[in-house]
Structure 1
Amino acid sequence: MVVKYKNNWIPTKSLEEMSNANYDVLIVGTGPGGGATLQRLCELWKNQGAKKIGILEKGDKLFHSHSLNIPTQNVNTARDALLPDNSTVIGERLPQFSGARMVYALGGRSLFWNAATPRPIQSELNKWPIHRQELNVYYDMAERLLHVTRDYAKGSSMQNTLLKRLHAGGILEAKDMPVAFDMTPSRQGEVHSNPWFSSINALAAALFDRPYDLAVNAYVSRVMEENGRVSGVEVFSADKNAHIIRAKNVVVSASTLETPRILLNSGIQGPAIGHYLTGHVSIIGIGTISRRQFSDKLGNLCILKFETKESPYQIQILGPDQYFSYQQFEDKVHKDQLMVVYAAFGRVEPRAENRVYLTGEKDEFGVPLQQVQYSLSNKDRQTANQVAQGIRQSAAAMGVTLDESTLVLRPPGADMHEASTCRMGDDPATSSTNRHGQVHGIQGLYVADNSVLPSLTAAGPVLSNVALAIRLADHIVRQSG
């Protein structure tokens, strides 16, 4: 006899139950944007029992936490086994975006991200349709939610020595990398056992503020609207039964590739929906350095070379070997030569012709599949050359012997930083949503994932996504009275 346990570490509802309710806010997707929106709504409506919030996840429950918080995992096993086994390489049917990979599960790709959380370069934020002082407030809030710290490698002789070498070599924008890692110790009964942030942390924070309805294996096919106002969504269960769930406000946070698919399949008119797909030109370089150059208190390596106007890229400098993040149970054995990794991301120009669009091919639920049109401009390729040269300069300054054969441009989408297909702005001709993330012309319909970012700097999109999602939740609460 096979016993099936309930896997009830987080409460869920069936789609049948949710179709009998009428929600004040219904969120589609449980990644960082959906999770942050939910957390903020539950925080602000903590004592307002009449408010009803629901959230839908296309995938199933997978992990209760970020993969690096699982005691049996380290950076190597999480990257080489766990991620491939629990993700979908959708780039296999997207020839121009062949590196694309999705995680259809509660928490989405936040279960695997590397948690680097630098703010975007200010000169680019000044172009966004939000005042810089307001943005700063929400970036502060996002950093608190994510427990962003610069102390992850504090006290490491490797960190201190190599930072000094970078600065002496003229690379002054190299600093301690901010990461979403909760360094608060567990004491007096208060447990901090999930230091690496994933969206599960936000779902948990929300749950302890007030109840909400969560459905997994809930495949949202389209948004419903009546007379210019959202009314709910159509959603399929795993057995392909369709349900209509009603809501006064719908927040779509299904991902940069899925959100425009849902909006386009809903017949929502908007000349910019799906356009301006932006990713990074990405190179991962590998080098080695002698162990004898550092004290016995070696520590780990977590440096970020920040973007500048002159150098439109960032380099995450990590190491040594697999010990950037490892379990307390592991023997920390160092070779004479330590491996240093340079994970670099360069800016790509936002261009309308880079887009997500629907094809005639349909999935098992009868919903049109998306296709991607994507190419790099000459400027993007020049940036890629700058990225490679930046890695060389950093390695030389650090005294690291670089393996030149590793300086290869990764396939588009492999960075998993795609953004801006439903970007916010004031002009409906070049943006999909207004400055609050509301889809132009559809009252109560919002977007809250990476796709809403007005542009993508060299910084990863998660911190910006969370900041804008918290801001969106505040807007919904104000509009709801």
Structure 2
Amino acid sequence: MSFQIIEQAKKYDVCIVGSGAGGGMAAKILSEKGYKIALLEAGPDFDPANPEQRTQLRWPWESPRRGASTFQRSFGDFDMAYGGWQLEGEPYTKERGTEFDWFRSRMVGGRTNHWGRISLRFGPLDFKRKDFDGKGDNWPIGYEDVKPYYDKVDKLVGVFGTKENIPNEPDGFFLPPPKPRLHELYIKKGADKAGIPMIPSRLSILTKRVNKKRQACFYCSQCSRSCTVYGDFSSSSVLVNPAKDTGNVDLYVNAMVREVTTDENGKATGVHYIDKLNLKDYKVKAKVVILAASACSSARILLNSKSSAHPNGLANSSDVVGRYLHDSTGASRMGFLPELMDRKRYNEDGVGGMHLYTPWWLNDNKNLGFTRGYHIEYWGGMGMPSYGFGFNMEALNSLVPGANGETKKAGGYGLSFMEDVKRYYGSTLGMSGRGESIPQKDNRCTIDDKTVDKYGIPVLKFDYKWTDEEIKQAAHMQDTFEEIIDSMGGIALGEKPGKESNYGLTNPGQIIHEVGTTRMGDDPNTSVLNKYNQAHDVPNLFVMDGGAFVSQADKNPTWTILALAWRASDYLADELKKGNV
């Protein structure tokens, strides 16, 4: 390397890259055990209770863009995500025909500051799907291996829900769930009629206090803005802050990690990062390195960490790093319920997410034309009003004649505009499927040697295609959505997506659940990590993010990332005591 690297004098026990779910958990567990930690984050420090950073309970006029989205604030100025699918000076490339979209969040706590808090355990079947359908691969661990850590996460973080005794939807330690809102009761009425289950959601939002530093949710419905009273789960407030309180964590912010450094034997010695503010290169030394930068970012770091001992990238003798990349499937539909027109106005904000959801209900049906499954998420109600549904309002009015039998034309402004908003406010609802795709070896990210970011680091190139399995799953989602909407007496809005659009199947990466790039397994020839998230090739290197996943399940990955990171941190601490690492 031709550039000068400034070496930090201090040598840490552990260097952790990434402060989201996995990195935050590792920092908390290991710092509380007395280990000295360097925690590196590619974005700035963040605390939702900081008045200068708070977006919760702010009015639209307090934003220079009235809260609107921008190139690098994809979900809007009030959504607590410093990042998006495109970042200035940080490109990524795609193979021809690939539509993968890569979301990155640059801030302490990462994506956990703005996620939906859907906190589902993988079930026994989810770890061993190959035994059931013969596709993909089994995990090297089972539900019973992870269950004690799911239990610990439930009790530490707090998750509401109800015990349902559904075989592949494991129950946990639940706080009381909030009551369903009116639109959810209507959806449940339709789902019951269609024979589709709906149960209370399982979200990591406090309906009761779990400790003195975190208050219960006060139902402002703005969880995407990150909570000023720490009533929901964000790594920044629930994991990183307590880790820093131990006095054993040095937090490095705006630290863009280029590579893991190694010695002549290929053992990890620390990391090399670029300070994003002064653009100088630094080296942090540590006995152990944990990558938790997100599945694709961790893979990028490993693939860029080439040496004579690791010519194909660090921990990549198997050529598996970057492979088996997969994201959740997703498709959506909106509906309109005439019975909810001209609603009485009252406060029904609730939590910042759904109060009811549908778990996958057809595990025993092998005649669907596809394997694996999906759950359904719902939305609607009386949130901030908006006007229009993305199609002809006059056509909608023709479906709902007034008391005298006459239809009303759509108004465009003034009094007529106000009347339309009041008429339809609270009468729309929607649903989204979130499903499991089958990991494919050739769905992957690699290094594009022809392109670097503004820090001089080679970028990722994506190669990803959906299979017929995922497309057929999306078709089933659309049929289910229409059945539920029809059963509740509603009207499905817009044209039903067809085969030409893959039945509305979203681009991979759009659901932001990408996992699998450094998957675990017992065979070093077909996996990167062992069952404790430890690299087969480099014993003092661990990966504690979604990259370790062998398969996704239809569940959101965060709860499993947290549980596996806790489990791996306990294992690492034990190995350090034994002198094995």
Q: CA offsets per residue over residues 353-378 of structure 1, 9 Å max, x none?
A: 00010011122222211100000112
1:359 matched residue in structure 2? 448
Give aligned pairs, total: 452
Asked if structure 1 preserves the Cα contact closer than 8 Å seen for 2:26 and 2:565, the reply is: yes
Cα deviations by residue, 1:203-262 (Å, 9 ceiling, x for unpaired): 123233443100001111111223242211111112222122111111101112211110
Q: Compared with structure 1, are the counterparts of its residues 356 and 321 closer, same or farther at alpha carbon in structure 2 (3 Å cutoff)?
A: farther
Matches within 5 A, 1:65-84: 70-72=56-58, 79-83=75-79
Contact 2:244 2:250 in 1 (8 A): no
The separation in 2 between residues aligned to 1:398 and 1:69, in whole angstroms, is: 36
Distance 1:136 1:475 in 2: 15
* Contact 1:177–1:316 (Cα < 8 Å) also in 2: no
Aligned to 1:391: 481
Q: Deviations over 1:283-336 (max 9, x none)?
A: 122112232799998845522211242461111112214279xxxxxxxx8946
Q: Which residue of 1 aligns with 2:340?
A: 291
What are the superposed Cα offsets for residues 3-26 of structure 1, whole Å, 9 maximum, x if unpaired?
xxxxxxxxxxxx97x811111111
Q: 2:288 aligns with which of 249, 252, 277?
A: 249
TM-score for the superposition, normalised by structure 1? 0.85
Equivalent residue for 1:195?
Answer: 231
Instruction: Show the counterpart of 1:55.
Output: 39
Letter in 2 for 1:287: G
Change in CA separation of 1:129 and 1:85 when aligned onto 2, cut-off 3 Å: closer
Unaligned runs of 5+ in 1: 1-14, 325-332
- Once the 2 structures are TM-superposed, how far is the Cα of residue 199 of structure 1 from its aligned partner? 1.2
Matches within 5 A, 1:427-442: 427-442=523-538
Q: Output one character per residue of 1:90-127: Cα deviation in whole Å (capped at 9) or x when no partner.
A: 48744624432211121111121111112234312233
Aligned 8 A contact 1:156 1:298 in 2 = no
Match in the other structure for 1:418: 514
AA at the equivalent of 1:146: V
Match of 2:188 in 1: 163
Q: How big is each residue's C-alpha offset from its partner over 1:366-412, in whole Å with a ceiling of 9 and x where there is no partner?
A: 22111000001122211121222222233233433221447532222
Name the SS for the 1:314 alignment partner.
strand
Q: Which stretch of the first structure deviates more once superposed, 194-203 or 157-166?
A: 157-166
Partner of 1:6: none
- Give the 3-state SS of the residue equivalent to 1:222 in structure 2: strand
Following TM superposition, by how much is the alpha carbon of 1:70 offset from its aligned partner in structure 2, in angstroms? 1.8
Instruction: Provide the secondary structure at the position in 1 that maps to 2:574.
Output: helix
From 417, 427, 437, the equivalent of 1:338 is 427
Worse overlay, 259-268 or 313-322: 313-322
- 1:120-171 Cα deviation digits (max 9, x unpaired): 3431223321242221111122223331112443264544454354234211
| Maintained 8 Å contact 1:321/1:339 | no
Q: Retained in 2: the 8 A contact 1:92–1:98?
A: no
Q: RMSD of the alignment, in Å?
A: 3.1
Question: Which residue pairs with 1:214 in the alignment?
Answer: 251
Q: Structure 2: state its 5+ residue gaps.
A: 61-66, 70-74, 129-137, 162-175, 217-228, 307-313, 366-371, 386-421, 498-503
1:401-442 residue CA offsets vs partner (Å, 9 max, x unmatched): 221447532222111111111111112232111111111110
Contact 2:83-2:106 within 8 A present in 1 as well: yes
> Aligned partner of 1:288: which letter?
F
SS of the residue aligned with 1:206?
helix
Distance 1:188 1:282 in 2: 38
Does the 8 Å contact 1:220/1:234 carry over to 2? yes
2:360 to 278, 286, 307: 307
2:572 to 447, 463, 476: 476
> Of the candidates 236, 240, 243, which is equivalent to residue 279 of structure 2?
240
State the partner residue of 1:350: 439
Residues 187 and 485 in structure 2, CA contact (< 8 A), matched pair in contact too: no
Greater radius of gyration (CA): 2
**Shift in Å, 1:77:** 6.6
Aligned match of 2:300 in 239, 261, 273? 261
Does the 8 A contact of 1:65 with 1:198 survive in 2?
no
Q: What amino acid sits opposite 2:340 in the alignment?
A: R
**Local SS of the residue matching 2:568:** helix
**Measured at CA, do residues 463 and 97 of structure 1 come closer, stay the same or move farther in structure 2, by a change above 3 Å?**
farther
Describe the shift of the 1:336–1:52 C-alpha distance in structure 2 as closer, same or farther (beyond 3 A): closer
Larger displacement relative to structure 2 (338-347 or 391-400): 391-400
1:137 to 148, 152, 171: 148
Classify the secondary structure of the residue corresponding to 1:154: coil
- CA-to-aligned-CA distance 1:334-353 (integer Å, 9 cap, x gap): 94652212122122110100
Change over 3 Å in CA distance of 1:187–1:30 after alignment to 2: closer
Aligned residues of 1:234 and 1:245 also touching (Cα < 8 A): yes
Give distance in 1, aligned partners of 2:149 and 2:552.
17
Structure-2 separation of matches of 1:257 and 1:464: 17
SS in 2 for 1:257: helix
Contact 2:268 2:540 in 1 (8 A): yes
Q: 1:315 to 1:186 in 2, by over 3 A?
A: closer
**Distance verdict in 2 for CA 1:335–1:92, change over 3 Å:** farther
TM-score, scaled relative to structure 2: 0.71
Indicate if the aligned counterparts of 2:80 and 2:114 stay in contact, CA closer than 8 A. no
Retained in 2: the 8 A contact 1:321–1:340? no
Q: Which amino acid counterpart does residue 122 of structure 2 have in structure 1?
A: P
Structure 1 pair 73–222 and aligned structure 2 pair: CA distance change class (3 A): farther
Aligned match for 2:27, one of 23, 31, 38? 38
Letter in 2 for 1:199: S
